[in-house]
Amino acid sequence: MDKNKPRLDSENLRARLKLRSFESEKKLLVSHPTAAEFFGHLKLRPGKIRQHAARLLTSGALAGSLLLTAHTGLPTQANTTIAANNLTWQNILPPEGQWSLSPDQEQEISQKIKAAFGVNAVPELDGNRLPHDYGRMGAEQHLARFPGDNVPNMAPGLGGWGYVTDPTVEKYYVAVPIIYLPDWRERTKYYVDWYRWRRMVVVNPANGKAIVSAVADAGPADWTGKHFGGSPEVLEYLGINTGMQNHPVVMFFLDDPNNEVPLGPLEYNIEVNKELTAKQA
């Protein structure tokens, strides 16, 4: 092997190919609005037609997979109603469709997440921000954990960072639209490295449920009208896995440099709630 030959950066290449795919789909759907309506009705991406057909043909065999139980059984969240009442999201968030939070709104949200769950959730970390920290989350499929991995509702391709070898990361993963960052093309390598398995706090403002997730994929495409994607387990826990599976969520970075907060559902901070209740009495 020629040691002077530059090494192929597969993650960088995969991210760029994904961006090119999104751009091609967007161009097709803008040029042919009738096709956009057709694909939207089927909830199908144009670039995934072949894979979609293959999944339909093999769905019967997949139903009997021995790995089925690896993605079932979510823990329950204690005192969800109390958490939702204390968060009072309706007094903080702008109306749906206005997906930009003001600095004051972001600060108030961070404070309320800290009070409710005892974790530090911030809209900006290490100088990095997502295009949106409030938006609509759509359903994603399971990502392959190893070659030959095969469970129901499996994505036809790999995630933005390849195989998700940690089963907990795969279970609680999210997709974020880093490919739409303003300087994505100039700083692709930096963003690919920085966002790899980056932990996020996702909150459903409709019920106050919150979960810590890891970034394992890039997207969704902007033409879908969605700002984030979530694994089946993430959507199930947040209670947004019904209907169109396209619901508003808040997504902040988890500021936890020592990795003390595990992935998965956040339990309501009972001790903090006792202190708040005592002050209000």
For the chain, the three-class secondary structure string (H helix, E strand, C coil) is CCCCCCCCCHHHHHHHHHHHHHHHHHHHHHHCHHHHHHHHHHCCCHHHHHHHHHHHHHHHHHCCCCCHHHHCCCCCCCCHHHHHHHHCHHHCCCCCCCCCCCHHHHHHHHHHHHHHHCCCEECCECCECCCCCEEEEEECCECCCCCCCCCCCECCCCECCECCCCHHHHHCEEEECHHHCCCCCCCHHHHHHHHCCCEEEEECCCCCCEEEEEEEEECCCHHHCCCEEECHHHHHHHCCCCCCCEEEEEEEEECCCCCCCCCEECCCCHHHHHHHHHHHC
In this structure, is the dihedral angle defined by the CA atoms of residues 24, 183, 225 and 156, taken in order, positive or negative? positive
As given in the structure block, the two tokens for residue 38 are 């057709």
Digit-by-digit pLDDT tens for the chain (281 residues) are 555 555 556 556 556 666 666 566 655 555 556 655 555 554 455 555 444 444 434 333 333 332 333 444 454 444 444 444 455 687 899 988 899 999 999 999 999 999 989 999 999 999 999 999 999 999 999 999 999 999 999 999 999 999 999 999 999 999 999 999 999 999 999 999 999 999 999 999 999 999 999 999 999 998 899 999 999 999 999 999 988 889 999 999 999 999 999 999 998 765 555 554 455 45
Q: What Å distances lie between residue 63 and 68, 120, 150, 158, 199, CA to CA? A: 8, 40, 10, 21, 31
pLDDT in tens, 217-262: 999 998 899 999 999 999 999 999 988 889 999 999 999 999 999 9
Give the span between the Cα atoms of 63 and 66, in whole angstroms.
9
Tokens 């093309």 label which residue? 185
**Among 269, 260, 3, CA closest to 114:** 269
- Structural domains of the chain, with CATH: 10-280 (2.40.40.10)
Give the span between the Cα atoms of 178 and 16, in whole angstroms.
11
